[in-house]
Structure 1
Amino acid sequence: MLQKLGQLFGVAVAAGVLVAALVAPLLGGIGITARNVATGFLNMPSELETPPPPERSIIYDVEGGVIAEVYDQNRELVELDEIAPIMQEAIIAIEDSRFYEHGGLDVMGTFRAALRTIAGRTQGGSSITQQYVKNVLIESATSQAEQEEARETTLGRKVRELRYAVALEQQMTKDEILEGYLNIAYFGDGAYGAESAAQHFFSVSASELTLGQAATLAGLVRYPELYNPRLNPDQAQDRRDVVLDRMVDTGVITREEAEEAKTEELGLDITMPSNGCVPSKQPFFCDYVIQEIEKNEMFGETETERARWLRTAGLEIHTTLDPDMQAAGQKAVDKWVPRENKSRKVAAEVFLEPGTGAIRVMAQSRNYGPDESKIGETSINFTANADRGGSTGFQAGSTFKAITLAAALDEGLPYSTSFTTGSTITVTGQKSCDGAPLSDWTVSNSSESGSAATHNMVSGTKGSVNTYFARLQKRVGLCDVIRMAENLGVTRADGQSYDNPHTQGNNSFTLGSEEVSPLNVAGAYATFASRGVYCKPQAITRIVDHQSGRTIEIEPECERRLSKDVADGVNYLLQQTFRGGTASGLSIGRPVAGKTGTTDNSASAWFAGYTPNLAGAVFVGDPRGPNQYPLRNVTLGGRYYSVVYGATIPGPIWRDTMVEAVKKLDEKSFAKAPSKFGSTSEPAPPQRNDDADANPAAHQGGVPDVVGLGRGEAVAEIQAAGYQANVSDLRLPSDQPEGTVAVVEPGAGSRLPEGSVVNVFLSRGPSGGGGGGGGFPGGDWGLPGFDSEWGMF
């Protein structure tokens, strides 16, 4: 200890002599002495905190692949033994050849630099320790004033740096100081520290640097931009040769080695930095992870503090994204809804692991970028809620019917709960959650939602019958269905409550008229898959903070929200959609359950489906406004669609993703339908009677010719003939007057069993195409076929 104090005082006296010599001409010989200056020098603040410099954070997928790097400064901290010895020798030779000999003060170098500073010209010459001190002061500055003070070209700054350097030499070993310097120094072109510089300029690690590469990098720290080898290769090569000569002078290398190295080209192999989410292959998931950190108070008191931590702390951020599943999802959305489609439609999907909430897939058919006016580009994550970089949501259509089923089963209603409904009904007497009566609600079966008849939960779900679910919601209670949605994590994407004045009077809740995100819909369906256990969607599993030495483990947030019986009951019903229902043709060769969704006027289309160990939701629509730009008469992926339903595009996206995703998962089966909900049989179909006397219309006149008639008159004639009339929301271009019947299907004269459904399409007037007639329009308008598989619903 006494020896160190003696060394410190000796250095202080030397510093005093130097400072006295420098300031004496300025002070006019007022009697200041070197010892007085030395005493004052020793009394200056000397304790310098040396926190790790800002370092880049890295986001990893579940298999350890890099998703993105995020940083304020492109720096990767390494230990000294991870930096090639020749790099260490090169930096010492050119910056401070007596580094291992002095005590933090290179008297001649400092004297020369100080004289030039007084003359108004900055000059190098500071020891490596002093340069390290300067960089630490700059990097640790927390205000603009501190930044300016650390960078000012004054004698006072030189003296402060020198005092800190002298003290630092007593606290740290030479190797520790050299390691700190090589990690904090700026090498230009956005590369901070030797490791990042080696990777950037030569695509090698710092441990692999050759003599020529090391000399090139060592020459950069004095004037990083002037000697930038990418921009100024001639100046960089000249500077490299200066370093090589200096290494000869210090005895590090021979003259022959230097001359041989001078004959080499710079040999650059530039790796441009990839900061942030734009260059990432999974940009929207990257953005979601960043939002999760910046918006979560567990990572810091303020958003500014959290953002700085993310970009400077050198974090290892381990996430849930599965690269193989993600690749399958991205391929599927790009196939069915290409990113730069002229109709500006978008597909977005998210897949979760039931029982943990782990996000395995988050993809959408857009390039990541800030220019929303550019076709195919957006910075909005359409899978997420608004508070996590998402949109304000989209109406989810009939995917909400699963929520109504859960509410009904939760209240003990059996599968046999039946209603006889027409193609159009009026529901009265519904109340909002505050008890206020709601206005009457008229609801119709759309062309994709099944026929008018007597339905129970099984047939109503299989056919996605709007009128059945309207009646079921009334039976359960609108508010109970709303509360079930919240219970399953399906909240509005804009963060508003379902009880606010804007949404409270929503009669059509069961038909998915609320704006939600695919992430929340997937979370609800994952709850069914996990037999009633809801898990909050999770993107991050672990964060390693190397600077603080702590590791943050993030466990799944799960709790039971449904009984097993209720979840199993819903699972049974949603399996039926693949068995002759609206999801026919979307099976993947293992047990699946799910639900299509199409909103009014085909504003948007959805599909949500799952296996017992993977759940996903897909949305397709127009972010400019689905109602203003519906999914009608669009061409996507080289295919023309007159109208898009849930099973037309969203279903195949889900299927194509799921087929690939489940390859790495064990095949599991759903539990059997709980006996407590009774029989799983569908209602008996309308009685068929082939006796001409019993039903003359079935054999004699068949379907009446109602083309050109008004809606009411046409319906009356069809019903009088012994059939049910289903008037579609879809209006066709036709020579018939607007609002009259353009087409019926099956066509006029078709002989059907009593009670069969006749689909009626009204005219929207001439629109540049043919129409009319009593036959099914087929390919002229691209309408779906009303076959037994309902494959387009």
Structure 2
Amino acid sequence: MSGSSSFKLVALVKLVVAVACGGLVVALMLFPVIGGAGIAAKSGAKMVADVATNFNAQTPTTVSTVLAVDGSVLTSYYNQYRTPIPLDQMGTWIPKAIVAIEDKRFYEHNGFDTTGMIRALAQNVLSGGVSQGGSTLTQQLVKNTLLYQASTQAEQQAAVEQTIGRKLREAKIAIELEKELSKDQILEKYLNLMNMGQGAYGVRAAAITYFGVEPSDLALEQAALLAGLVQTPTKFNPFNNPKDAKKRRDIVLSAMISTGVLSAAEGEEAMKKPIVLNPGAKPGRSCSEAPSQGGFFCDYLWTYLTKTLGIPPAVLKEDGLTIKTTFQPSFQEAATNGILGVGEALAKDAGVFGLADERLAMMDVLDATNGNILALAMNKRFGNDPNDISQTVVNYPSLPGKGAGSTYKIFPAVTALAQGVGINFVTGANAPYTSKKFKDGLKPYVVSNAGKYADNLPLWKALYQSANTYFVGLEDHIGSMDPIVDVATAMGLWAPGDTAIADQVKAQQQASFTLGPGSANPLRLAVAYATLANRGTRCEPVPVLDILGPDGQPLVDPKTKAPYFTPGTNCTPNAIPPGVADTINDILLKDVMPGHAGQTGRRAYTGDGRQIAGKTGTAQGNESYAFIGYTPQVVASVMAYGLHREAMPGLPGAEEGFGGGYPATMWRLAMENILGSYPMVNFPPADPKVAAGNTAKNPVNCVGKTPAQCKSALAKAGLTAADSGVPVDNKSVPAGRVGAQSPAVGQPVAPGAVVTYSISTGKPSNGQPCAEGQDPATTGCTP
């Protein structure tokens, strides 16, 4: 034996005496003798006094669980797979196995085992290295807690550095900890903390990872294997090193025999058993693994939590939260199937909107009464496999895409009704129509209709039948795009603070905005229409119901001292007047409910008598289309468009696609399986005052007058005259004079309304249909 070893053995003898006399402080007085001259200047008592013991014993980095409305798990957030459980749920064997192999005097010492420390020091001196640590379970708990709580590399290094200072701090903290917690509490924390390999931390995660069972169901030999992993999880991993794992397991069983936990017969019987692994599934933490096609909702949720609410990702992944979401798995499946079902149901071609198709189709389902997002569906799966074209990580259901067409006509309609024009207001903007106020660049803005429409439609009919020219004429009457854009903003077409498009439309006075050619976000469209369904109250979309900390209380932002999320704070009453919303809803019922000529959304009707309102939309060139349908309780926004510039497909036999085709049908197929969850509730009737507006009867009869006389008379009445440009046959009126007008004398008009007149040819009508204002008795026209 070397002289150095002899000197150290002498020091150990002194240490034994010191321990017997004074415990930790006296023993530590001799640490400098063993540890070297570097700390010899300090006495053991001074060393102990200088050690800080600030310590948070909370188990770090636990799994946060994300729940759907039905209580099923949507996804999980975690850096370490750890799900703490009480000691009484850990079964019989794993606590006993851990104590036997790691700290057999655990229930005897006060956190620092002087006997074990002396033994370890002696062995280390004799071996010339570090072969035994001598740390108690409590000390190991302290060391690993500090390691897992470390937020910097320096803190991680300090938690594991091989120094007397680190050991001293652990020992002092361990002794203090045992004054605060019972032995069982310390053991519980230890068993919930430790790295047990294969990405599992704590006994519950380990039991599921290796054997697919709860800890309480572990057999003796299984518990012994898990206990053996704590020392070196990689070396004793049974998946990769089964021989070493079995040797280590049997060492644990031997320790259990030597401590009296097992009889020799029980231990030897367990040693004979082979290692049989039955790995269970870890909690899914990728949105591509979300059940019920919920990947897009899962992705939106993460963005909402981290960006909108500002919850740090580390808190979500480490603090063991319970996040209750608004996600409805059955609604999600119904929406997805509704999109995919149109191929088989209508075109007998599953590829029309199949998963591998380059045409995108999406459906956003919201609770109309509170903004809860119930489903975000599309015809692709959420995933990032570059070799699978059916996957995408672009969250199309919540992002701007292509145009939504005539779905935007509600914004000038709401604006006009709020200004008092009434539902019978006639613009006189017949096709083709040249705007009187707005331009397309340097040229006058000229618009036509998609299909044939009767001249001089009233607002209510123009809205549900979707006449383009009417709404450009309505913009002329309103006089500026500003109030229309303000209404769209108030209804939620854009997220709060997102003013880019609104500012552009106002700055350029883009009359085309009303016809929806620009980029539209299906989620924001659903919000805007939900404002109608909710009688003028706008609710921002929310994907969560509650966010609870590990204590079961709402998670609090430490900066503001307020909960990160407070339910019910996302709604704004009277974003638009309730009576205006009721009146628009009454009009849009005519687009879906049976019995209304010229309706465009009839294919969305579910056939059960339930009131459904809606609006179709088709962008220019048929490159995209949409249908937004709703009841008083739920709204769903459907959009579809191609990744390339091409016309979207129409129903069988149709040359081009429109919003009333595939989109309306997707909506119906989904809602046939969703609306049954809601009672049948009718919309409130139209508001009589809003419907009537501030209109009066037209006092001017232009028929028989010259155009100049007509213009003069209308101007005096506060109305505007416009030549229709289309002559009318009227034998009772000389050629060159006004032969017909709309609105006719006595019909309702709003202040400043346009009255359109047509010049007579002086010829008999010969049974032609009567123009508005023509008398069949005098002209010969057919009513």
| Residue in structure 1 matching 2:373, options 359, 384, 394 | 359
Matches of 1:331 and 1:265, distance apart in 2: 47
- Tell whether 2:334 aligns with 1:332: no
- Tell whether 2:636 aligns with 1:630: no
Task: Name which of structure 1's ranges 438-447 and 454-463 shifts more when overlaid on structure 2.
Answer: 438-447
The answer to whether the 8 A contact 1:461-1:576 is kept is no
Q: Deviations over 1:722-749 (max 9, x none)?
A: xxxxxxxxxxxxxxxxxxxxxxxxxxxx
* 1:617 partner letter: S
Aligned residue in 1 for 2:244 = 235
Matches of 2:355 and 2:287, distance apart in 1: 23
User: CA 1:221 to 1:655, structure 2 compared with 1: closer, same or farther past 3 Å?
Assistant: same
* 1:562 partner letter: I
The answer to whether the 8 A contact 1:607-1:650 is kept is yes
TM-score (norm 2): 0.77
Aligned residue in 2 for 1:591 = 611
Aligned residue in 1 for 2:82 = 75
Aligned residue in 2 for 1:85 = 92
The answer to whether the 8 A contact 2:139-2:174 is kept is yes
| Residue in structure 2 matching 1:321, options 320, 323, 327 | 327
Q: Deviations over 1:168-195 (max 9, x none)?
A: 2233221121111111101111111112
Aligned residue in 2 for 1:526 = 530
* SS state at 1:58 partner: strand
The answer to whether the 8 A contact 1:11-1:105 is kept is no
Aligned residue in 2 for 1:667 = 680
* SS state at 2:630 partner: strand
Identity %: 31
Quote how far apart the aligned CAs of 1:676 are.
2.5
The answer to whether the 8 A contact 1:314-1:545 is kept is yes
Matches of 2:111 and 2:20, distance apart in 1: 10
- Tell whether 2:422 aligns with 1:402: no
- Tell whether 2:295 aligns with 1:293: no
User: CA 1:508 to 1:149, structure 2 compared with 1: closer, same or farther past 3 Å?
Assistant: same
Quote how far apart the aligned CAs of 1:138 are.
0.8
Q: Deviations over 1:273-320 (max 9, x none)?
A: 2123221121111122211111135x55xxxxx111111110010111
Task: Name which of structure 1's ranges 39-48 and 89-98 shifts more when overlaid on structure 2.
Answer: 39-48
Q: Deviations over 1:67-119 (max 9, x none)?
A: 11111111112222222131110111111111111122233544565664995
- Tell whether 2:462 aligns with 1:444: no
Task: Name which of structure 1's ranges 361-370 and 255-264 shifts more when overlaid on structure 2.
Answer: 255-264
User: CA 1:269 to 1:640, structure 2 compared with 1: closer, same or farther past 3 Å?
Assistant: farther
Matches of 1:179 and 1:528, distance apart in 2: 55
Q: Deviations over 1:365-413 (max 9, x none)?
A: 22222356851222222222xxxxxx34432211111222211211111
- Tell whether 2:434 aligns with 1:426: yes
User: CA 1:550 to 1:469, structure 2 compared with 1: closer, same or farther past 3 Å?
Assistant: closer
TM-score (norm 1): 0.76
| Residue in structure 1 matching 2:23, options 11, 18, 22 | 11
* 2:306 partner letter: E
The answer to whether the 8 A contact 1:95-1:125 is kept is no
Aligned residue in 2 for 1:498 = 501
Aligned residue in 1 for 2:699 = none
* SS state at 1:101 partner: coil
Matches of 2:168 and 2:473, distance apart in 1: 84
Quote how far apart the aligned CAs of 1:151 are.
2.5
Aligned residue in 2 for 1:383 = 397
Aligned residue in 2 for 1:564 = 578
Q: Deviations over 1:230-284 (max 9, x none)?
A: 3333332332222122111111112222233234343422123212322112111
Q: Deviations over 1:693-722 (max 9, x none)?
A: xxxxxxxxxxxxxxxxxxxxxxx99x99xx
- Tell whether 2:425 aligns with 1:417: yes
Quote how far apart the aligned CAs of 1:228 are.
1.9
- Tell whether 2:54 aligns with 1:40: no
Matches of 2:228 and 2:173, distance apart in 1: 25
* SS state at 1:292 partner: helix
Which structure is larger by alpha-carbon Rg, 1 or 2? 2
User: CA 1:216 to 1:419, structure 2 compared with 1: closer, same or farther past 3 Å?
Assistant: same
Quote how far apart the aligned CAs of 1:494 are.
10
User: CA 1:549 to 1:176, structure 2 compared with 1: closer, same or farther past 3 Å?
Assistant: farther
Task: Name which of structure 1's ranges 497-506 and 577-586 shifts more when overlaid on structure 2.
Answer: 497-506
- Tell whether 2:656 aligns with 1:643: yes
Matches of 1:141 and 1:74, distance apart in 2: 17
| Residue in structure 2 matching 1:349, options 363, 367, 370 | 363
Aligned residue in 2 for 1:59 = 66
| Residue in structure 1 matching 2:515, options 511, 522, 543 | 511
Matches of 1:421 and 1:8, distance apart in 2: 105
| Residue in structure 2 matching 1:276, options 265, 280, 286 | 286
Stretches of structure 2 lacking an aligned partner (at least 5 in a row): 1-17, 344-350, 556-562, 694-724, 730-765, 771-783
User: CA 1:341 to 1:657, structure 2 compared with 1: closer, same or farther past 3 Å?
Assistant: closer
* 1:243 partner letter: V
* 1:472 partner letter: L
* SS state at 2:627 partner: strand
Matches of 1:478 and 1:372, distance apart in 2: 44
Matches of 2:48 and 2:589, distance apart in 1: 82
Aligned residue in 1 for 2:637 = 617
Aligned residue in 1 for 2:567 = 555
* SS state at 1:597 partner: strand
User: CA 1:373 to 1:68, structure 2 compared with 1: closer, same or farther past 3 Å?
Assistant: same
- Tell whether 2:660 aligns with 1:653: no
Task: Name which of structure 1's ranges 473-482 and 308-317 shifts more when overlaid on structure 2.
Answer: 473-482
Quote how far apart the aligned CAs of 1:454 are.
2.5
* 2:148 partner letter: E
User: CA 1:366 to 1:22, structure 2 compared with 1: closer, same or farther past 3 Å?
Assistant: farther
Matches of 2:280 and 2:30, distance apart in 1: 45
* SS state at 1:330 partner: helix
* 2:511 partner letter: N
Quote how far apart the aligned CAs of 1:340 are.
6.0
User: CA 1:675 to 1:13, structure 2 compared with 1: closer, same or farther past 3 Å?
Assistant: closer
The answer to whether the 8 A contact 1:397-1:605 is kept is yes
Matches of 1:383 and 1:753, distance apart in 2: 53
Matches of 2:37 and 2:304, distance apart in 1: 59
1:479-490 paired onto structure 2 within 5 Å: 479-490=482-493
| Residue in structure 2 matching 1:96, options 93, 96, 103 | 103
Please give the root-mean-square deviation of Cα atoms over the aligned residues, in Å: 3.3
Matches of 2:414 and 2:214, distance apart in 1: 57
Task: Name which of structure 1's ranges 607-616 and 391-400 shifts more when overlaid on structure 2.
Answer: 391-400
* 1:61 partner letter: A
Matches of 1:79 and 1:152, distance apart in 2: 31
